[in-house]
Chain A
Amino acid sequence: MADTHAPGLQHHFDSYEQQQEASFFGMWVFLATEVLFFGGLFCVYLIYRTANPVAFAAGSRELDILLGGINTAVLIGSSLTMALAVHAAQVGKHKMIAIWMALTGILGGTFLGIKAVEYSHKIHEGHFPGPHFVWHGPEVNVEMFFNIYFMMTGLHALHMIIGMGIMLVLIPLAWKGRFTPDSHNYIEGFGLYWHFVDIVWIFLFPLLYLLGVTSHV
Chain B
Amino acid sequence: MSEHVTSITTYLVIFFALLVLTGVTVGVAYVDLGPLNDVVAMAIAVFKASLVVLFFMHVKNSRRMTKITVVSSLFWLLILFGLTLSDYWTRGFLG
Contact = CB atoms under 8 A, between A and B. Distances in A.
Interface of A: 16-17, 20-21, 24-25, 28-29, 31-32, 35-36, 39-40, 42-43, 46-47, 50, 65, 69, 72-73, 76-77, 79-80, 82-84, 87, 90-91, 181-182, 191-192, 195-196, 198-199, 202-203, 205-207, 210-211, 213-216
Contacts of A84: 8, 11
Contact of B49 (A32, A42, A202): A202
A128 to B, nearest CB: 25
Contact of A214 (B37, B44, B85): B37
Contacts of B77: 35-36, 39
B80 A20 contact: no
Contact of A28 (B2, B56, B66, B80): B66
Contact of B80 (A17, A36, A191, A196): A36
A47 B74 contact: no
A206 B72 CA distance: 25
B84 A29 contact: no
Nearest to A16: B1
7 closest cross-chain pairs (CB), A and B: A32-B73, A210-B29, A206-B41, A28-B69, A214-B32, A80-B15, A213-B29
Given A17-B1, A24-B66, A35-B73, 20 more contacts: A17-B2, A20-B3, A28-B73, A35-B77, A43-B81, A46-B81, A47-B84, A65-B29, A76-B15, A80-B11, A83-B56, A87-B11, A91-B5, A192-B57, A195-B52, A203-B49, A206-B42, A211-B38, A211-B41, A214-B29
A90 B81 contact: no
Nearest to B38: A211
A196 B56 CA distance: 10
Interface in B66-95: 66, 69-70, 72-74, 76-77, 80-81, 84-85, 88-89
Interface of B: 1-3, 5-6, 8, 11-12, 14-15, 18-19, 22, 25-26, 29-33, 37-38, 41-42, 44-45, 48-49, 52-53, 56-57, 62-63, 65-66, 69-70, 72-74, 76-77, 80-81, 84-85, 88-89
Nearest to B31: A214
Main secondary structure of the interface of A (DSSP, over half): helix
Contacts of A17: 1-2
Contacts of A76: 15, 18-19, 22
A196 to B, nearest CB: 8
15 contacts: A20-B3, A25-B65, A36-B77, A46-B85, A73-B22, A79-B18, A80-B14, A84-B8, A191-B57, A195-B53, A202-B48, A206-B42, A206-B45, A210-B26, A210-B29
B2 A77 contact: no
Contacts of A20: 3
Contact of A21 (B6, B52, B65): B65
